[in-house]
Chain A
């Protein structure tokens, strides 16, 4: 049993491979989280425009990418884009897929955050001569983000977990590396270790999140 799932020799052998995978997972997360946030911010800001020419396409866009399974989207980009002459590679496809998929989620969260800031805030800011953009940047967004911080963090957790999808387009992230090591050693130990690494990576975030959520419950 221990030899199968916790084989020390295999752990030693697989460790450098897994570590490289962890590095890539972190790099990938550090790329797709800001990209998703950027996409979300763009969507949330567009959502403030009242024009039906923006409103309807925007809603369709958000609905589409929230309903589209990210795995399918990723494979579609990876397998489909070369047919129109676009070879983006695994990393590029992952980046675009996350920008589209998680951007839609971050966008909905940020929109709710912006809506939660009372209109008096922007009126006060505008009355002192701040432009609409300055008001958004200095008055509305900081409060909006604070109001939806637990949701933003929880989505970020999901995004980090979803980086494992990169393995299907041969991105050498943690899961991909673990499976490589597993197939080289004919032993599931690398997968177990990868699971533990994911846990060690995400558990502090989960703790922080539940503390934030408890605080939000207490302060209403």
Chain B
């Protein structure tokens, strides 16, 4: 394996008395797509949010694209441009158009002129198939469209890695496909991705590796087929059994 582009080591995270991450190690290679699964409350979101320092671990190290996110000297706002994130609830800015959502960071962070930002923003919207919705506000978009705009907002900054936190969980079933299709294209373009999701079909088809978390720890990881068909750990078996029944 080439030098990992994401390298998280021995991460511990507490919320008050709650020990949420108990020494998690996660390495992700360039162009790899890693799926993270596990019961609700097991720490998946917290782990993901440590990878762009939306949460700061109590101890351990997080290095992304060669940048030590926890070092004092690190300009976290610069680092975050290289780490796109997509949220379960989209979190589009409701007071801006789709294009406005996509261009805000291009103008304010990446230092593009209005014209450059607009061109890049439209190109990003084009990649998610929503160039014709550029002037719509989030309220005028379906959930699937909103999530694709959120993806466009992240990829417009040309990140080196993308983090997805249950990107399809808030969507009506018939809209899930459109978002997964965009993610599949990103994957084909070679984007490194960490995806928290229970879309097993997508995981089987697209993931290089599945990581199973429980109670703040990585219990087991491996190729999708290995984890889904032949889990080694009892907890993994129980969890896989549970979600396959749904």
Contact = CB atoms under 8 A, between A and B. Distances in A.
Decide if the interface of chain A is mainly helix, strand, loop or mixed. Answer: helix
A126 B54 CA distance: 8
9 contacts: A118-B89, A120-B87, A124-B150, A127-B54, A128-B157, A129-B80, A129-B81, A134-B108, A146-B95
Contact of A130 (B79, B85, B95, B104): B104
Contacts of B95: 142-143, 146
Given A127-B83, A128-B109, A138-B108, 15 more contacts: A120-B87, A121-B91, A121-B93, A123-B91, A124-B93, A125-B93, A127-B80, A127-B154, A128-B81, A128-B157, A129-B79, A129-B110, A129-B157, A143-B93, A143-B94
Which of under 10, 10 to 19, 20 to 34, or 35 or more describes the interface residues of B? 20 to 34
A169 interface: no
B77 to A, nearest CB: 5
Interface string B92-104: 1111000000001
A216 to B, nearest CB: 15
Contacts of B92: 124
B246 interface: no
Nearest to A120: B91
Most buried by B among A121, A124, A126, A131: A124
A139 interface: yes
A124 B108 contact: no
Interface of B: 52, 54, 77-81, 83-85, 87, 89, 91-95, 104-105, 108-110, 150, 153-154, 157
A130 B91 contact: no
A128 B89 contact: no
Which of under 10, 10 to 19, 20 to 34, or 35 or more describes the interface residues of A? 10 to 19
Contacts of A146: 95
A146 B80 CA distance: 28
A137 to B, nearest CB: 9
A124 B78 contact: no
Contacts of B94: 143
A130 B108 CA distance: 7
Given A120-B91, A124-B87, A129 B78 contact: yes
A133 to B, nearest CB: 10
Interface in A124-178: 124-131, 134, 138-139, 142-143, 146
Contacts of B85: 124, 127
Contacts of A139: 93, 104
A127 B77 contact: no
A130 to B, nearest CB: 6
Given A142-B95, A143-B94, A128 B80 contact: yes
B153 A128 contact: yes
A127 B52 contact: yes
A138 to B, nearest CB: 6
B91 A124 contact: yes
Nearest to B88: A120
